[in-house]
Structure 1
């Protein structure tokens, strides 16, 4: 089953809405779910994607089937990209916001030992898929009607990140992809990126699990990030309040970079 619960219209649901529609990749949990939840709370209708159908079904139930739907598949699969955008257009008739959040980080170790096939997989999932979703969203709706794209990058793409080099390279590419798309899609579409530090999710658990207090001590704000921290920024960048912001990468790091070079 490739799709879960198609959402009802605002009139049918009786709930207030913005009339806007968002597609959030990797939206069944973690940062992606947090962003989807924030957009639904604002009144948007949302389609989330991911590989696990059961996780997507549970996420749609939490978000509300009158506001959310899901399409299951692998982010790097072009057929899945096409199916997701097509289902959004068929169900909601528009696609105002794209949030490229889907990502993978299957390897931990030095670059000298990096399996090149793994590197290719990381780039396919983290970068090429984002471009694919952006191309299809542009063609289906945004070229004629405008909208926003938010790419979820990482501070790993802004500096050297020991032992997660492939992930960092892919996120650096995501930052540059943001610049390219912002230039080419203007003025119809605003394209920005978010670069979070460690956020408490299952995806990042290896970076803090069992030593969270020690990990958080590096942050001037005294804690690691939460999905809500990233969701609030995504909500802003997809809003009219950010109407003159494009091509930017917003660092969300609890002040971590303030410690650069400080003994």
Structure 2
């Protein structure tokens, strides 16, 4: 593994497991220190241990849409590791499953709050605390459902489409010293996505040209690339990582 991120510090939200943990692990493997967030201290302690302990990682527990939690995580990153070079907005929720016409509007408002407004708030705070003066890179974790219809998770996809737009606008506003990109996975084998493949993984993966669902590491490697100097002329892009499924007609 390269050391292209040595000396850098990242915050990765929603990183106690799944895609967030895989992103954090890849960043650590490439030399960065990471602050990982999630709702519970116990799962974060396990994540920090997996990431190599407190020399490499720090866990800050809280809800991603809580401004006080955001402030604490950013302050801890800077005071503990000395900088805040990267931000990965990975936290996302989708508490409903079914037709959008039957969607509870209270739940819809909460999804927008967490998936979109909280992500923007993290960027604003990271910008003011460090990146405005020192530069940096940001990756927002979107979804393939942001660019093609996804029955039963449609509103989640709509919020991720908004996140893609936020990504583009921030890239224009924050250049040249801060790059902002997004990564849009298809179905990745995580607890969050279980309802999309559990008990029918062979069927679910049949439409993928690569004949498998995604793994968290598939997204971690792309996120690390988008944060690294190797993507120094890429900003405002939503990079689809989907095993080719968006190329196939009628795929989920």
Normalising by structure 1, report the TM-score.
0.92
Question: Is 2:219 the partner of 1:230?
Answer: yes
Residue 160 of structure 1, CA deviation: 1.3
What is the distance in 1 between the residues matched to 2:216 and 2:49? 19
1:157-172 alignment, distance < 5 Å: 157-172=146-161
Paired position in structure 2 for 1:104: 93
Given that 2:89 and 2:140 are in contact with CA atoms closer than 8 Å, whether structure 1 keeps it comes out as yes
Unpaired runs of 5+ residues, structure 2, are none
Matches within 5 A, 1:29-178: 29-65=17-53, 66-178=55-167
Pair 261,16 (structure 1): closer, same or farther in 2 beyond 3 Å: closer
Q: Separation in 2 of the partners of 1:115 and 1:17?
A: 43
Superposed CA RMSD in Å reads 1.4
CA deviation vs aligned residue, 1:199-231 (integer Å, no higher than 9, x gap):
000000110000000101010000000001000
The 3-state SS of whatever aligns with 1:102 is: coil
Residue aligning to 1:260: 249
Structure 1 residue 260: deviation in Å? 3.0
**d(CA) in 2 for partners of 1:200, 1:93:** 34
Residues 170-189 of structure 1: pairs in structure 2 closer than 5 A: 170-189=159-178
Instruction: Work out which of the residue numbers 231, 242, 246 in structure 2 matches 1:242.
Output: 231
5+ long unaligned stretches in structure 1: 1-14
Query: Alpha-carbon deviations, 1:162-208, whole Å to 9, x = none?
Result: 11122011100110010011011101100000000000000001100
The Cα of 1:22 is off from its aligned counterpart by 0.4
CA contact (8 A) 2:11 2:88 kept: yes
Mapped to 1, the partners of 2:127 and 2:5 lie a distance apart of 23
Residue aligned with 1:254, SS:
coil
Aligned residues: 248
